[in-house]
Amino acid sequence: MSPARLSVLLFLVPALLSAQMAPPIRGFSPVAAAAQAQLEGKMAGLLSRDSTGAWFKEFTRLPHPAASERNRQLAELIAAAWKRYGLEDVRLRRYDVLMPWPEQVGVTMTAPRTHRATLTEDCFPEDREACVGPELTYLGMSGSGDVTGELVYANSGNPADYDWLEAQGVDLQGKIAIVRYSNPYSYRGFKALTAEQRGLRAMLIYSDPQEDGYRKGLTFPNGPWGPESHIQRGAISYDFIVPGDPLTPGWASVEGARRIPEAEARSIPKIIAVPLSARDAEPMLRALAGPVAPSTWQGALPFTYRVGPGATVRVTVKMDGRVRPIWVTEGRIRGSETPDQMVVLGNHRDAWVYGAVDPSSGSATQMELARALGRLAQDGQRPKRTIVFTSWDAEEWHLTGSTEWGEEFAKELQAGAVAYLNVDGSTSGAEFKASAVATLNRLVQEVARDVADPATGKSLLEVTAARVGADGVVDNKLGSGSDYTVFLNYLGIPVVDLSFNGPYGVYHSQYDNHTWMSRFGDPGFRYMTTMAEVWGRMALRLANAAVLPYDATAIAWRLGQFVDELAAVPGVKERLDLADVTAAQRAMHEAAEGLEAALKRGVASPRAVNAAMQRLEQQWLLVDGIPGRPWFRHALYAPKYTYAALELPGIREAVDAGDWGAAQREAARLAERIRVMTAALAALR
Ligand SMILES: [Zn+2]
């Protein structure tokens, strides 16, 4: 043996040894997996709770709502740090979007006695730093007006609630509804649309202590639940119809962009709506007479809830109607081999107030990960594909920044993005939650297998499977409510959404702040930092894998489940012919297994497989989208109007409307997409 060959062998021995010990990583040969594990270990070693905590402190120091001066400062602060960390092409992108701010908000009960809602949150001596003082609490995209009317209690403000009221003979026309946030949960924009459709003139949404207050446990500052004065702000945009700037639906609001008149915008509510604390709602609810509300509508306030009449309320909202600039920060670590292929990592930066959980925990996580990956690149350990970091703005309004950016760079993203990994709030507790398209199930599971839960030292996979079952570790039912929407539903790019969750009753209130996080959510920033490891390993695997770590058998299998669930909907068996869809799904499953076998034999060329696989998920996109919502193009997923997940949306909405002809047409469109997918998979074997 020549000395050269001997030294090669000696060089290989450690890698081969650790290759035998290391668990397999999808998309990597055993030797490459060992090197990858080493790289990821180095990345994890660079992560520090102290620097994560320092960023968290900076993000939560001041309120930073979308379009505020502070939020723009933060965009620049992030850009400067990313440059320091060694990221490339760091820049701010500006979009001008409709984002009216309030000039006046008032809610007053005028009968049976006068009571003016404070619309403010208490300050606690333990938490004096985080006291915003008098500011207007409001719901983004509320209509403007001054209306006085009879108050009616409508539970959660969902259609079934109004159906019940109407069945009791309660007239809703011209009245003002008072509704709860979550009984059951529905997105506040859906409540607004429902109230508008039922003829109400205004809507008050309040936080009942049963859902996030004292009925749950100790309240802030003694516990994680909401105190009586906490107010859940939020937007009521109809972004389940079309997200992003309402005046540029389907194209980016860059300089010079065409804008449609407000009257034509489908995502702008007309109804006037205001958020209330339990404390402000109590006197109004207490004043209601009339029929006793059903037992499931009773809340935690100390009296019997009635639906009305008995109280008259005046609601005044004046919004300024303005278009405002928002700022997306963008930076990248250029890939060493295929820089046009990208893994995109996004988090929104804007908060309703201090936004400790939502989103600053995720923002701090993202900064820490950018620092670690930047360091690796500076040390010469550059990813093969490009890793793009994005800090979105105005997510809280209509998923605005991410949608505009996705629309602006649609071509580049569809040509090169291999996945979008979203982290909104990274941490409100210790329970790991991952949602993803099934194509990425294996990737998510393997990453969870390789990251330790900081509390128990066991793997996140083990801890999570023990809690929700092995099948539930990755949730494949994707709704909306965060920035992955444009990537999944509009661009057809595989997405993952990650968080750690726990008891959290201060969402979108001023109490979602540094004190809350350091006392309850994540003392010591352990989970915030662990999320950087999860996110980083996932990004590095997608960036470095020889064969993209997608799993088409998983999506074919999950599709089969979605079809079974559809078939179980009453009436479907008798009235809808799903034979074509089922046959197509079986063929797709076979083609996916064929590809899997070919990959195992190593017969498929990685370059050809990657080029085709990168576009695979885009085969789900329907020309003209789902009926009535052309922006939402994915055949398997769309959000319900409540933001909940809706599978096979085109068929499902037609079935729910009882339109069997339309359902059959949508089934044919789905079968066609499955066949295109099958052909693409078969071509790769
Ligand atoms: Zn958020």
Lowest mean pLDDT among 10-24, 29-43, 200-214, 588-602: 10-24
Q: Is 534 helix (H, G, I), strand (E, B) or coil?
A: helix
Q: For residue 304, which of 314, 312, 296, 293 has the smallest C-alpha distance?
A: 293
Q: What's the 411 CA to ligand 1 centre distance in angstroms?
A: 26
How many angstroms separate the CA atoms of 646 and 649, rounded?
6
Give residue 21's pLDDT: 63
Q: What's the 507 CA to ligand 1 centre distance in angstroms?
A: 9
**What's the chain's average pLDDT?**
94
Give residue 18's pLDDT: 52
How many angstroms separate the CA atoms of 612 and 104, rounded?
54
Beta-bridge partners for 315: 107, 147
pTM, 2 dp? 0.95
pLDDT in tens, 87-103: 999 999 999 999 999 99
Angle at 290 between CA 287 and CA 294, to 5 degrees: 100
- Which of 150, 211, 282, 395 does the annotation list as catalytic? 395
680: enclosing H helix or E strand: helix 660-682
Q: Are the CB atoms for 324 and 99 separated by under 8 Å?
A: yes
Q: What's the 675 CA to ligand 1 centre distance in angstroms?
A: 37
Residue 126 annotated among the catalytic residues of the structure: no
- DSSP track, 71-138: HHHHHHHHHHHHHHTT-EEEEEEEEEEE---EEEEEEEEEESS-EE--------GGGGGG---S----
pLDDT band at 601 (very low <50, low <70, confident <90, very high): confident
Exposure on the CB side of residue 106, measured as CA atoms within 13 A: 14
What is the b/e burial string over 654-664, where b = at least 16 CB atoms within 10 angstroms of the residue's CB?
bbeeeebebbb
Which residues 6+ apart lie within 8 Å of 523 measured at CB?
none
Share of the chain above pLDDT 90, in %: 90
Give residue 127's pLDDT: 81
Q: For residue 188, which of 221, 166, 158, 230 has the smallest C-alpha distance?
A: 158
Instruction: Count other C-beta atoms under 10 Å from residue 503's C-beta.
Output: 16
Q: What's the 395 CA to ligand 1 centre distance in angstroms?
A: 7
pLDDT in tens, 480-538: 889 999 999 999 999 999 999 999 999 999 999 999 999 999 999 999 999 999 999 99
What is the bridge-based pairing of β-strands 312-319 and 272-276?
A: unpaired
Identity of the residue numbered 338: T
Lowest mean pLDDT among 89-103, 169-183, 549-563, 593-607: 593-607
Q: Is the peptide bond before 294 cis (omega within 30 degrees of 0)?
A: no
Give the residue-averaged pLDDT of 308-331: 98
Q: What's the 208 CA to ligand 1 centre distance in angstroms?
A: 21
Q: Are the CB atoms for 428 and 361 separated by under 8 Å?
A: yes
Q: What's the 558 CA to ligand 1 centre distance in angstroms?
A: 28
End-to-end CA distance of the chain: 39
